[in-house]
Amino acid sequence: MAKSIKPKVMVLRTAGTNCDQETGFAFSHFGAKVNLVHINKLLKKEEKLADYHILALPGGFTYGDDIESGRILANELRLFLSEDIRRFVAEGKLIIGICNGFQVLVKAGFLPGEAKPSKKEYQQETTLITNDSGKFEDRWTYLRVSGESVWTRGLKDIVYFPVAHAEGKFVAGSAKVLKRLQAQGQIAFRYCAPGGAQPVYPENPNGSQDHIAGITDETGHILGLMPHPERHFLFTHHPSWTRQAQKAEWGDGAQIFANGVRYVQNKFL
């Protein structure tokens, strides 16, 4: 008998979020039950994170990116919901942050994911700052996939996703943090040139250290990335799909959302 319970995905939104519908569509297309939840419902306990299997932080410009990109929402999550998120992660559930969502995850300290044992507080170890170009970058990028993660299983070695950000330069807080990410396989995506060669601008659109476009926590259950997989979810999202020799149904980003849904089905349902 087919399983009647669907994986539940919370797509978290607030003022300035603008990619919630697309992110929700991607998950629902693979059978998830998706709710778009405003942050106030979590803060007022009208919704419970524990009732969900996946937390998705979509792209946009939360709170107008006042102060800096993602900082206000990051503070709300860290100060008021960190224990809920800690339990969520401890239960083996999944989190994905895309673009502004990635900025939120690193500034809240949920990525790379090390908590300070003595105080049980998440500590920010990396950040995303203004692009080296000094301008908003809106272009398609090639990405080399690496590391071990629930989210990246089955992806092609090189994928093609668009970026749209002004503050996407990944910077580690120290050489030690960067080495840890490299050694533990937490770098999920790196910008590259077509064919996988070392990139220069604009192939690396923001000047990120080690060309980093996305990272995971140590478990591989939390993923953050600046490029938008939901914008290459269908094959027809590709900017030159009509000129492609082989037509397909799915774009390069679809596997990420399928992986999240499949993981929940296998582990929890």
Are the C-beta atoms of residues 226 and 102 closer than 8 Å to each other? Answer: yes
211-233 core/surface letters (b: 16 or more CB in 10 A; e: else): bbbbbbbeebbbbbbbbbbbbbb
Q: Which residues are catalytic?
A: 99, 228, 230
Distance CA 189, CA 99 (A): 13
Q: Which residue has the tokens 């600046």?
A: 226
CB-neighbour burial class of residue 191 (10 A; exposed 0-12, middle 13-18, buried 19+): buried
User: Where does 90-225 show beta strands of DSSP type E?
Assistant: 94-98, 115-116, 121-122, 126-129, 137-145, 158-165, 169-172, 187-192, 212-216, 222-225
